[in-house]
């Protein structure tokens, strides 16, 4: 993923959290991301970005109007496994 200067600064700020030392593995990953040089997107990443429709619009409804929906295909396997 391409990280611009603004993103790098945000990642640097992220590594300066008051909880430093609580999760050394996470801190190391964040440092590696900050120090990683920019690179062009691969063809696969470009294709994925072109197909990405972005986030769908959020819809809010009052509790009285909410109804359960059927699980997505394949979710039933996860649901049955956890029982």
Helices (H) and strands (E) in the chain, counts: 4, 0
What CA–CA distance (Å, rounded) separates 12 from 8? 6
pTM of the model: 0.32
**Three-state DSSP class for 48?**
helix
Round to the nearest angstrom and report the end-to-end CA distance of the chain: 38
pLDDT tens column, 55-73: 888 888 888 888 888 888 8
pLDDT tens column, 23-57: 888 888 888 888 888 889 899 999 999 999 998 88
């Amino acid at each position: 993923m391409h990280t611009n200067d603004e993103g790098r600064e945000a990642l640097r700020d992220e590594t300066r959290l008051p909880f430093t030392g609580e999760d050394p593995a996470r801190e190391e990953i964040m440092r590696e991301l900050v120090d990683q040089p920019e690179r062009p997107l691969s063809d696969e990443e470009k294709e994925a970005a072109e197909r990405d429709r972005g986030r769908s619009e959020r819809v809010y409804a009052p509790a009285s109007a909410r109804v359960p929906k059927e699980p997505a295909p394949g979710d039933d396997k996860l649901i049955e496994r956890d029982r």
